[in-house]
Amino acid sequence: MNDLNAPVPPYKHNPSAWDQRLPICLVAFVAAIISTHLSMYQWGLIDSTWDPVFGESSNRVLKSDTALSMYRILGIHDAALGVIAYLGDAVLGLAGSTRRWQYRPWLVILFGIDVIPLGIVSVVLVVLQALVVGSWCFLCLLTAAMSLILVYWAWDEVRASLMYLKLVWTQNHDRRLLWRAFWGYHDEASARAAETLLAREVA
Question: Residue 83: CA atoms inside 13 Å, Cβ hemisphere, count?
Answer: 14
- 18-154 CATH, one of 1.10.10.10, 3.30.70.920, 3.40.1360.10, 1.20.1440.130: 1.20.1440.130
The pLDDT tens digits along the chain (203 residues) read 567 889 999 999 999 999 999 999 999 999 999 999 999 999 999 999 999 999 999 999 999 988 888 899 889 998 998 999 999 999 999 999 999 999 999 999 999 999 988 788 878 877 877 778 888 899 999 998 999 999 999 999 999 999 999 999 999 999 999 999 999 999 999 999 999 999 998 76
Q: CB–CB of 178/168 below 8 Å?
A: yes
Instruction: Please report, for the chain, the start and end positions of each structural domain, with discontinuous segments joined by +.
Output: 18-154
**Which burial class, exposed, middle or buried, applies to 5 when counting CB atoms under 10 A from its CB (0-12, 13-18, 19+)?**
middle
CA–CA separation, 157 and 13 (whole Å): 10
CA–CA separation, 62 and 43 (whole Å): 10
pTM above 0.95, yes or no: no
Classified as helix, coil or strand, 99 is coil
2 Cβ neighbours under 8 A, 6+ residues apart: none
